[in-house]
Amino acid sequence: MNVHISTLNDFTVVEVHGRVDTISASEFETRLLAVIESGASKIVLNCQGLDYISSSGLRVFLIAQKKIVAAKGQLKLCCLQPTIKEIFDISGFSSIFSISADLETATKT
Amino acid sequence: MKMIFSLLPVLLFLISLYLLDNFKLVSRKTLLLCLLWGVASALISYYVNNFLIEQLSLKGETFRRYFAPLTEEIAKALLVLALISRKKIGFAIDAAIYGFAAGAGFALAENMFYIFILDSDTNLVVWILRGFGTAIMHGGCTALFAMILIGGIQREKNFFLSVLTALFVGYIIHSGFNHFFLNPYLQTLLIFIVLPLLFFIVFQRSNTMLQDWLEIEFSNEIEMLRMIKQGDIKSTKAGEYLISLKKHFSAEVIVDLYWYFSLYLELSIKAKRNLMLKENGFPLIEEPDIMDKLTELNQLRRQIGKVGELALQPLVRMKHRELWKLNQLKNN
């Protein structure tokens, strides 16, 4: 799993590549929470390179969402691969997160 | 002061346990029910104990050491046993909290009885010992009963034997406590140090077990349901297995088996998702059709019968935890 952080418009874009599973979830959590704790309140999780996500990974998304909502910020997901999007749809997590089709749409508002 | 020292420690202990429940497995309604049951069980024990003392003509000390622990542990454990039998308890965490609540209710009623009915005007130290020692012991014994029983069920041990083992452990500790083998101060201190430590270890292990359980099954079930929804199930091992069942079952039963499997996966995923949402303090997603789906699953389960369930065992094992998981959907 690799994480790349950049900024676009007012948003901090966190690109995640590879697998977010039991082994990599804690590292992903540390990186993501560090971004939130650095003061970024508008975050886009670019999932274009995300190949696999397990329940540990989904929990990191939930933790991040909770922290950002508490800080009155925004967390958006974008560019989910069809299989990952299906995981979100099947599990019902699509209704918890704001999901955009592409990075441009996600960073618009 | 008597009230504070004799009643508060056990309640604070219970609240601490409740707060340690990361996954919010415990429902407040059931917790209150356990607490009330504890009070009722104290009342039941009081009458049963008095009856037995009269019938057996035993000395008070002998009765307090050997008989009272048995009647009291059985009385406290009855509701916990019912909750486990009805699959309302799934892990050591909720088992411990519900069990401790029943024991705490018992201890509260017993200490109130000593304060108000017997009007005991004893030294404050006695109330401190009762509050920190006896009361915590009552909660701890029932919690241990619940944890040992759920552990036995999870390891698929004989249910009756697990009940007896769990009851025996609770009884031995309770009886040992009533023997005062140790100095009462030391005994109270020991209870107050050992029990929190034990709960901490059990909660840590149970949390890890719950997380592993979510991790392993959740992803597999989503993948399987995804394949079913895409019509790709035939290419999986599960699909091949379902097809192989054609030789043994009629076409109607195969259809029922297929829908049962598919619906089970959907509900199981939702139950686990809810656990994750609760763990992170999110409101649960409202799904008005959930009860209909649970009814449908039960209907399909009846239709496929025991033979169908056995045939599906390599894919779906409807054991205690699976039924508990589905029960959680009803509670939400």
Interchain CB contacts (distance < 8 Å): A and B: 53
Mean pLDDT of B236-247: 86
Dihedral sign (CA B301, B304, B305, B306): negative
Q: Which of B273, B274, B286, B290 to mutate to test the interface with A (most CBs of A within 10 A)?
A: B273
Q: What span, in angstroms and rounded, lies between the C-alpha atoms of B330 and A7? A: 44
Using alpha carbons, select from B294, B242, B285, B284 the residue that is nearest to residue B263: B294
Coil/strand/helix, residue B244 = helix
Four-point Cα dihedral B160, B161, B167, B171, nearest 10: 140
Is A108's Cβ below 8 Å from some Cβ in B?
no
Residues of A in contact with B285 (CB under 8 A): 92, 95-96
Is B281's Cβ below 8 Å from some Cβ in A?
yes
| Cβ B97 vs Cβ B16: under 8 Å | no
Residue ranges in chain A whose pLDDT is less than 70: 109
Closest chain A C-alpha to B277 CA, distance in angstroms: 8
Token pair in block for residue B332: 């939400």
Mean pLDDT of B35-62: 92
Using alpha carbons, select from A93, A80, A13 the residue that is nearest to residue A45: A13
Determine phi and psi for A77, rounding to 5 degrees. Answer: -110, 145
> How sure is the predictor about B121, in pLDDT bands with cuts at 50, 70 and 90?
low
Coil/strand/helix, residue B122 = coil
Determine phi and psi for A75, rounding to 5 degrees. Answer: -125, 125
Q: What span, in angstroms and rounded, lies between the C-alpha atoms of A51 and A79? A: 12
Is B220's Cβ below 8 Å from some Cβ in A?
no
Over chain B, what is the mean pLDDT?
Answer: 91
- Report in angstroms the alpha-carbon separations of B39 from B32, B73, B104, B108, B139: 11, 13, 8, 7, 12
Q: What span, in angstroms and rounded, lies between the C-alpha atoms of B113 and A56? A: 49
Between positions 46 and 105 of A, the ones with CB within 8 A of B are 54-56, 58-59, 62-63, 65-66, 83, 86-87, 90-93, 95-96
pTM for this one?
0.87
Question: Which H or E element spans position A78?
Answer: strand A74-78
Please write the tens of the pLDDT for every residue from A1-17: 899 999 998 899 999 99
Residues of B in contact with A95 (CB under 8 A): 285
Closest chain A C-alpha to B178 CA, distance in angstroms: 46
Mean pLDDT of B249-256: 88
Q: What span, in angstroms and rounded, lies between the C-alpha atoms of B39 and B75? A: 10
What is the pLDDT at residue B123?
Answer: 80
Please write the tens of the pLDDT for every residue from B264-285: 999 999 999 999 999 988 988 8
Q: In sequence order, what DSSP letters do the residues of B26-79 get, joined into one string?
A: S-HHHHHHHHHHHHHHHHHHHHHHHHHHHHHT--HHHIIIIIHHHHHHHHHHHH
Percentage of chain B surpassing pLDDT 90?
Answer: 61
What is the pLDDT at residue A109?
Answer: 65
Coil/strand/helix, residue B265 = helix
Q: In sequence order, what DSSP letters do the residues of B129-180 get, joined into one string?
A: HIIIIIHHHHHHHHHHHHHHHHHHHHTT--HHHHHHHHHHHHHHHHHHHHHT
Using alpha carbons, select from B26, B16, B17 the residue that is nearest to residue B90: B26
Mean pLDDT of B56-80: 92
What is the pLDDT at residue B68?
Answer: 95
Q: What span, in angstroms and rounded, lies between the C-alpha atoms of B151 and B163? A: 11
Residues of A in contact with B214 (CB under 8 A): 55
If phi > 0 it is left, if psi is from -120 to 50 it is alpha, else beta; for residue B13 that is: alpha
Q: Is the model's pLDDT at B56 over the cut of 80?
A: yes
Q: What span, in angstroms and rounded, lies between the C-alpha atoms of B17 and B58? A: 38
Token pair in block for residue A69: 């909502």
Count of alpha carbons within 13 angstroms of residue B265, beta-carbon side: 22
Token pair in block for residue B281: 């303090």
Q: What is the ipTM of this complex?
A: 0.85
Please judge whether B279 and A59 are an interchain contact, meaning their C-beta atoms are less than 8 angstroms apart: yes
| Cβ B116 vs Cβ B7: under 8 Å | no
